[in-house]
Structure formats: structure tokens, C-alpha cells
A and B are shown apart, each in its own frame.
Chain A
Amino acid sequence: MSEKQLDLLYSEVEEELRASVRALLEDKSPASSVLARVETDQVTDTALWKELADVGAAGLPVPEELGGAGASLRESAVVAEELGRAVAPVPFLGSAVLATAALQACGTEAAAELEALAAGESTAALTVPLAAMPGAAFPEDVRARDGRLEGTVRNVADALTADTLVVAASGPDGPGLYVVAADEARITPVVTLDLTRPLAEVSLEGAAGRRVAAGADAEKALRRALVAGAAVLSAEQLGVAQWALDATVDYVKTRTQFGRPIGSFQAIKHRLADLWVAVSQSRAVVRSAASAVAAAQEPGAGDAERTEAEVNASLAQAFVSGVAVTAAEEAVQLHGGIGFTWEHPVHLYLKRAKSDALALGTADRHRLALSGLVDLPAPTA
């Protein structure tokens, strides 16, 4: 099996983007304000999102002629890392990644929507359950008939603040992707395990939708959006894991018990060394996934590139999901009692890590998908 060697490093441009996003988040969204915000009924920080859009985060992969940065998923992944590190409550995944990727895959049909998204003037949500697995059968929750949509989708990310919904619906003439104005839908918040990523139930009762992709094109667009989402989500998981590791290393250096810093006990050192190895490996895997998905989105990319993107995205979810959860769980444990409190932000990371591990396909489902992709088939009964 041969595969092209992907660039696994960060470019200078990416490092600059990271620095500006990090600086903005440290200033405008420190852990204390995220903590305060999750107890209000406006969890999503729309003001912060506007500022992130101003540094280009909203339209990274959108072409320049539509007002985007003309960058690639590699840059989006760097932003996702920083957002994960800060558990920032902004509609990046739902709007700038999932909905944007779906609309981009629809060609010129959705140019107006893309332009508005890239400018940060509006946000969108891809109306599928956040747990949707890339490559699963096209959803049937919403039915389309004569441009009218009917049905309910649970656990949709970033729908509460969205202006536009990108709805996957099936009808008499097969699958389709539809653009729907959010005020045509009934959007009800859900109480979520992850306090920092609001989910909603979206009910459509005869809402008017404009079809932007039909049939096989709609299926492909949805699949590509979810694959891109899985790759970028792994970068967010890396950010979560890196924060958990860094915070814990800092803590065990200063916390003293039995007359010495707890970080000098080998039982603790070895666990953190293992975690560091896993986080380093995650970084290579995440960069590989982002690069592979970016390569598949280049003009001229073919089936080989798309398969490589799916292999890498599934690999990333299969590997990094577990690392992020372990990192957050270790962080809670090694912080002792303080790690179990509401005041300490570590619980926000645990909740995000565990929820992310269920989002866009569990590790187990991705391993199964991977087994098909790399010809290691599951046993037949």
C-alpha cells in the first residue's frame, strides 16, 4: 500500500494564525469567563465569534472571490486546536467547518450563503445529529416534498445561534441538501453533557427550503462535510488534550505532599510521560488528517485523494478521541479534590473531550470504517 507523504508540520502562516487566535482567546475568553457564561442562557459567545471572524477564522477554506481566506482545512485545523485549548463557545465547528464544507461541495449554488458566512455576517448549522458518522446512510429524519421540509433532527450543533440551516432531507426524488432560513424552524435547546457546545432540536414543519444539491451530489457533499468535520474535530481534541497535559504538568510541579512536589513521584511522572507520548502522536495524526482532507479538496483531486482523506480522518478520530478523553480524565484525577470542583475549569475539558469522542462517529465506528478502507474486513457471520 503506498501513500503520498503529507506535510505534517505547521507553516509560518499557520503559526501566525495560531498566535493571533490564541492571543484573542486569552484576552476575551479566559476559563473564568467561559465558566461564567455556561450558566447563562446565552452560551455561545457571538461577540467573540465576530472578533474571530475579523482575524479570518470564519471563512478560512472559502475562496477569496467569495470573501474567504482561500486557505485550506490545514488552517482550519490550527484554529480548532486553539479553540479546543480554550474550550471556546463559538460556532466554529457547526458553521465554519460543517455547514461551510457542505455548501462548498455544492458548487456555485450556495455562493451567496458562503459569502455571508465568510464575512462573519451570518452563521449556519449543518442540520444533522452531531453524532452522525461520515459515510453512514443518508439521513431520513427530514422529508422533502415540493420544496417543503418536514421532520425533526436531534442534537444539532450550533443551530441555536444560526441564521441559516443546511438541511439534509430525503424526498420522493432522493436525497437533497436544502438551505433554510433559521426562523422557518423551531429550534429548542437541549441540556448537554458538554456545557460549552450548545446543541438543539430542530423541528421543521413545512419550512421552505432551497435545494442546493440533489441525489448523489447531495450524498457526496454531506459525506465530504462530515469527513472534513471529523478531521477538524480531531484538531480540537488535540487542543483539549494539550491543555489538559500542560495544566496538569504545571500543577504537579507546584503541589507538594509528603514533603516533595507530587510531580517527583514516579507513579505520576510515568503517567504524564505516557500522556505526552500520546499527545505527540496525536499531533502527527491530526496534521496528517488535515493535510489529507485539504489535498482532497484541491481542484483536480481524485478518488485516491478522497480515500486517503477518509483513511486519515477515521484514523484521527479512532486515535485522538481516546487520547483527549484520557488526558482530561488524568487531569481531573491528578488535580485531586480541586479537580472535582465546579470552579476549576478542568471539568469543562472533560465534558468537551467525552462529548467530542461521541461526535461525528465514535472511535469504534471509525475503526470499522477504516477496516473497510484499508482492506482488513470485519468477519462475516
Chain B
Amino acid sequence: MTTAPAGASLDAPALRQRVADFVAEHDPATTDQREFLAARFDAGLAWVHFPEGEGGLGAPRALQSVVDEEFERLGYTPVGREGLVIGLGMAAPTILAFGTSEQRARYLKPLYTGEEVWCQLFSEPGAGSDLAALGTRAVRDGDGWTVTGQKVWTSLAHRADFAILVARTDPDVPKHKGITYFICDMSTDGVDVRALRQITGEAEFNEVYLNDVRIPDTQRLGDEGEGWRVAQTTLMNERVSIGGYPEPREGGLIAVVSHIWRTRPELRTPGLHDALMRLWVDAEAARLTKERLRQQLAIGQPGPEGSAAKFSFSRLNQEISGLELEMLGGEGLTYDDWTFRRPEGVEMAKRSAGFRYLRSKGNSIEGGTSEILRNIIAERVLGLPAEPRVDKDVAWKDLPK
């Protein structure tokens, strides 16, 4: 298609040109979305920082936003991708960093096109914030592993083809050391997914029971006992993928309340006005902070602000959706639909104010709680001393459960 330089020498104008060339050859209006995405993957425009042949061009990571913006500007934004966040945001970067070349060849492309959906089998009833305490066991068994245990809060497990999974392979060493990371095929015998109805009435997430599930050793990601390190890559990407994308002014939930305010003058009161303006200001501050981070990344100077984005995003969503209900007054007493449903993803914009209020309560819990994020900022950014540790040198099997 083009012979322009690839890799680290690529810059923003060169990438914009590549996107333009690509769109010229693959008319988004007439090409099926999945085919279009497959071609985009092959052209290295899926994740430009990935290696050539694996969806990328080996370009600097920050240039991905240039590519995304350019596709958007040319009128092409993929739709119906809500169910793919775990695959795109977390599984892909982890497979890239730790996967064998066979694993990368097998999983990255269908993950990108949306042909295969992923979920994350991390949390357990006894291990949430303290993920390293997990108890799901993986025991070596010939050329593979037998996995037994229970996972919980697993978003989209009911739709997923594959899962990223962490399991304990050595209970006799301290908790961070005996963990191994796997790719689990969700259609394997013994994987039992049960809907877990949530605060909104629907079930995005599930309990997942793993009963003697066989996982071939070729689906291990990283070395035996190295699972905690691999999981760190996943978790870091999880936090960055929530709320890292640049958006226009009034881009998030603030648009919803601003719209109500503009179109429904009969709802206006001085107190609501004050609350609205405070949140408008906070939303704009959060947006500018993300934009500043993007500009830093674009010149190769990532700042620590990334760790604050997810944290600010959850607080804003919760406060704005609370205000929305108050603004609506009597109408806020109603709800759209309590029918037990299994959604494809999170549908904030399409649902009622009550749904937004309830769903946003999950934002400060999923993907690391706000308390855990504060600990991370305090310790890694501000350099404050860690909490005294009672579990550091104790074998996992001897920890109080």
C-alpha cells in the first residue's frame, strides 16, 4: 500500500497519511465492519505501537490517539465495541508483552476485530482489592494444568470466548510468588458461568465456577510463578484504558445534565444551578487534565496524572448522576426497566437517570477501588511510606482466610 518508513521514525503526519491512504482503499461506507477492522489490523493501524504483523507498526505508543482521531475525523468509528473493553484494553497489551509468537498470532487479530470476546477471571470471593490473596488452584497435569476454584464479579463471562485468568500454582510461598497467568478457553468443560444480578437489575457480571478445567500449558502466559508480574501489566492497562481517551468539552455525563438544564427551564433552581456549575467546572478540569496527559505522552513525557484519571472519572460520574436525579425531581422517582437482562456492555447514555445513578456506583469499585487508587498515588507518586505489612514473608497457605 505504501512504502513510507515504519517504526520509530513514524510521526503524526505520516500516520495521518497512512490512515487516509487506507480509508481510500477500504471505503468504510461499503466495507463490512469486521472486514474493515481485519484490514486495518493487517495495515498495522490497530495498535500502532505493536510490532508489524501483530496489528502495529512499531511506532511510539502516543501516536495511537492520532490514528484513532484521524479515523474518527474521516467518519469511521467502530460501533458496538462496548463488550470488547477487556480484550482490547487489558488482554491485548498483556499478550503483547508476555505472549509467545504463537499466542500473539492466534489471539490478537480476532480479539481486535471483535470476533472473539474476552473476560477477566481475576477477582474471587476472598480476593478483591487484595488480588494476590487469590485461592483458585492450578495443578500441573501432564502437558497442561487442572484448575479449580471460584471467580466472581466477572463482567461479560456469559459472552466471552476466552478469559485472562490468574491461579495459584504454589501455595507454599508468599502470596505474590505462587501465582501463574493463563488464557482460559471459556468453552472448556468445567467452566460454569452463573449470572449475578446487580444493583441495576441486570447482570453484566457473573460468578464463574472452575471445576477441574483443563488448560494446556501452551496457554500459560509468562513463566510459572510469574503471574503477579504479568497481572501488573493487565491492571496498569486497565486503569489507563478507563478514561484515558481525549474528549471534547462536555464530553462525558456532564453533557446529559447540561442538556437537561438548557432544554427544561422549568426545572431550574438556584441550588441546582450552583451544583451544576461546580460539576461543570470539575468535569472541565478533569478533561483538561486528560488532554494535558495526552500532550505529554505525544512528546514522550508520560506524567503520573494517568493514575488519577480513573479516580476522577468515577467521582464525577457519581456526583453528576446524583445531580441528574435531583434535577428531574418527581420524574427521578421512576426507573426505566428492572427486567433481568444480560447486556452486551455498559449503556450509560441509552438508559434512564436512575440507571446512570446506580451503575456509576460501580465505577469506584471496578478496576481497582478509589481507596486502592489513593494508596497507589500516595505511595508511588508522592513516595509516602507503605502500610506496615503483616503478610509479606508468610506462605499463602498460612495466611488467615
Could you tell me which A residues sit within 8 Å of B by CB distance?
1-3, 5, 7-9, 249, 252-253, 260-261, 263-264, 266, 268-270, 272-274, 276-277, 280-285, 287-288, 315, 318-319, 364, 367-368, 370-371, 374-380
The interface on chain B, measured as residues whose beta carbon lies within 8 A of the other chain's beta carbons, has a size of 50
Chain B residues with Cβ below 8 Å from A287 are: 288, 292
Q: Are B277 and A9 in contact (CB under 8 A)?
A: no
Chain B residues with Cβ below 8 Å from A1 are: 248-250
Q: Are A5 and B291 in contact (CB under 8 A)?
A: yes
Q: Are A315 and B277 in contact (CB under 8 A)?
A: no
- B289, B385, B387: the one contacting A284 at CB < 8 Å is B289
Subset of 24 A-B contacts with CB under 8 Å:
A8-B288, A8-B295, A249-B383, A264-B385, A264-B387, A269-B384, A270-B371, A272-B384, A273-B373, A273-B375, A273-B381, A276-B308, A277-B311, A280-B289, A283-B292, A284-B291, A288-B288, A319-B282, A364-B274, A367-B274, A371-B280, A376-B280, A379-B270, A380-B268
Chain B residues with Cβ below 8 Å from A367 are: 274, 277-278, 281
Chain B residues with Cβ below 8 Å from A288 are: 288
Chain A residues with Cβ below 8 Å from B305 are: 280, 284
Q: How far is the CA of A288 from the CA of B295 in the complex (A)?
A: 12
Q: Are B281 and A378 in contact (CB under 8 A)?
A: no
Q: How far is the CA of A315 from the CA of B284 in the complex (A)?
A: 8
**For chains A and B in complex, what number of residue pairs have CB atoms within 8 angstroms?**
137
Q: Are A282 and B281 in contact (CB under 8 A)?
A: no
Q: How far is the CA of A270 from the CA of B379 in the complex (A)?
A: 10
Which residue of chain B is the closest to A379 with respect to CB atoms?
Answer: B268
B296 within 8 A of partner (CB) = yes
Q: Are A378 and B270 in contact (CB under 8 A)?
A: yes
Q: Are B375 and A269 in contact (CB under 8 A)?
A: yes
B276 within 8 A of partner (CB) = yes
Residues of B245-265 at the interface with A, using a CB-CB cut-off of 8 Å, are: 248-250, 258, 261-262, 265
Chain A residues with Cβ below 8 Å from B281 are: 315, 318-319, 367, 370
Q: Are A253 and B277 in contact (CB under 8 A)?
A: no
Q: Mark B309-326, 1 if CB is under 8 A from A, else 0.
A: 001100000000000000
Q: Are A376 and B377 in contact (CB under 8 A)?
A: no
- B277, B291, B379: the one contacting A8 at CB < 8 Å is B291
Chain A residues with Cβ below 8 Å from B383 are: 249, 253
B269 within 8 A of partner (CB) = yes
Which residue of chain A is the closest to B311 with respect to CB atoms?
Answer: A277
Q: Are A281 and B312 in contact (CB under 8 A)?
A: yes
Q: How far is the CA of A268 from the CA of B377 in the complex (A)?
A: 12
Q: Are A370 and B308 in contact (CB under 8 A)?
A: no
B374 within 8 A of partner (CB) = yes
Q: Mark B371-397, 1 if CB is under 8 A from A, else 0.
A: 101110111011111111000000000
Q: Given contacts A260-B388, A371-B273, are A269 and B379 in contact (CB under 8 A)? A: yes
Q: Given contacts A277-B377, A315-B285, A368-B277, are A272 and B382 in contact (CB under 8 A)? A: yes
Distance from B66 Cβ to chain A, minimum over Cβ atoms (Å): 13
Distance from A264 Cβ to chain B, minimum over Cβ atoms (Å): 4
Q: Are B384 and A379 in contact (CB under 8 A)?
A: no
Q: Are A318 and B277 in contact (CB under 8 A)?
A: yes
Closest 10 CB pairs of A and B: A269-B378, A379-B268, A264-B385, A284-B288, A367-B277, A273-B377, A273-B374, A8-B292, A284-B292, A263-B384
- B249, B258, B388: the one contacting A264 at CB < 8 Å is B388
Which residue of chain A is the closest to B278 with respect to CB atoms?
Answer: A367
B286 within 8 A of partner (CB) = yes
Q: Are B385 and A376 in contact (CB under 8 A)?
A: no
Q: How far is the CA of A299 from the CA of B383 in the complex (A)?
A: 45
Q: In the complex, which of the residues A253, A266, A281 has the most CB atoms of chain B within 10 Å of its own CB atom?
A: A281
Chain B residues with Cβ below 8 Å from A269 are: 374-375, 378-379, 382, 384
Distance from A368 Cβ to chain B, minimum over Cβ atoms (Å): 7
Which residue of chain B is the closest to A3 with respect to CB atoms?
Answer: B249
B79 within 8 A of partner (CB) = no
Q: Are B280 and A370 in contact (CB under 8 A)?
A: yes
Q: How far is the CA of A5 from the CA of B291 in the complex (A)?
A: 9
Which residue of chain B is the closest to A374 with respect to CB atoms?
Answer: B280
Q: Are B385 and A253 in contact (CB under 8 A)?
A: yes
Q: How far is the CA of A367 from the CA of B283 in the complex (A)?
A: 13
Q: In the complex, which of the residues B269, B285, B375 has the most CB atoms of chain A within 10 Å of its own CB atom?
A: B285
Q: Are B382 and A273 in contact (CB under 8 A)?
A: yes
Q: Are B384 and A277 in contact (CB under 8 A)?
A: no
